[in-house]
């Protein structure tokens, strides 16, 4: 048993024994009764003292459990949101490969990609607070800008893949931790 459990157990035993101890101290001169009515009165006394105490303990336990469940739900929801974000950015960034290899209408594609990447980085900046999303946004912008400048598509694709994989690894690490 840990220290906290021991303290709670000891407190509960003291609370349960307190009414009996109090009754014994007050009525110590009396002998043990054989009359059932006296025992009924004792039970009413005992119940009257312990019921409010148990009610208070139940309320405290309920409040504590509510906070623990809320904390668990928050953590679980945050993880689910991170997995959804990871799926979203993975799909979007992996689709870039085909866009870069297909040189049709670069300007339009770059504008759309920039908007998607900026939206993602802005939307998930708070969710992944431990990751510098601005840094990735800037790197992706540089890559897309160099693609616009007609640098070799293969070279751009390799750089984009490297940055994309690094971001995805950081997001996965963030989810695990």
**pLDDT per residue over 146-172, tens digit each?**
666 665 666 767 777 777 777 777 777
Tell me what percent of the residues of the chain surpass a pLDDT of 70. 79
**Main-chain dihedrals φ then ψ at residue 2, nearest 5 degrees:** -85, 175
Q: How far is CA 153 from CA 28, 47, 80, in A?
A: 97, 82, 35
The rounded distance, in Å, linking the Cα atoms of 98 and 93 is 10
Q: Which residues of 135-152 are buried (b: 16+ CB within 10 A; e: fewer)?
A: ebbebbeebbeebeeeee
The rounded distance, in Å, linking the Cα atoms of 32 and 29 is 10
How many residues are there in the chain? 177
pLDDT confidence bin for 66, thresholds 50/70/90 = very high
| pTM for the structure as a whole | 0.47
Sequence ranges of the domains in the chain: 3-70, 77-176
Question: What pLDDT sits at residue 63?
Answer: 93
The rounded distance, in Å, linking the Cα atoms of 78 and 85 is 10
The rounded distance, in Å, linking the Cα atoms of 121 and 20 is 65
């Amino acid at each position: 048993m840990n220290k906290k459990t021991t303290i709670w157990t000891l407190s509960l035993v003291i609370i349960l024994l307190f009414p009996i101890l109090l009754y014994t101290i007050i009525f110590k001169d009396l002998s043990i009764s054989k009359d059932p009515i006296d025992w009924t009165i004792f039970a009413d006394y005992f119940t009257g003292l312990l019921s409010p105490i148990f009610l208070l303990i139940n309320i405290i336990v309920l409040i504590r459990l509510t906070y623990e469940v809320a904390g668990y739900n928050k953590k679980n929801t945050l993880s689910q949101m991170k997995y959804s974000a990871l799926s979203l950015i993975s799909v979007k960034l992996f689709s870039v490969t085909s866009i870069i290899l297909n040189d049709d209408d670069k300007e339009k594609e770059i504008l759309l990609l920039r908007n998607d990447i900026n939206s993602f980085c802005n939307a998930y900046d708070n969710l992944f607070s431990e990751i510098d999303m601005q840094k990735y946004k800037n790197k992706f912008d540089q890559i897309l800008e160099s693609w616009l400048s007609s640098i070799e598509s293969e070279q751009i694709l390799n750089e984009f893949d490297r940055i994309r994989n690094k971001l995805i690894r950081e997001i996965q690490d963030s989810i695990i931790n």
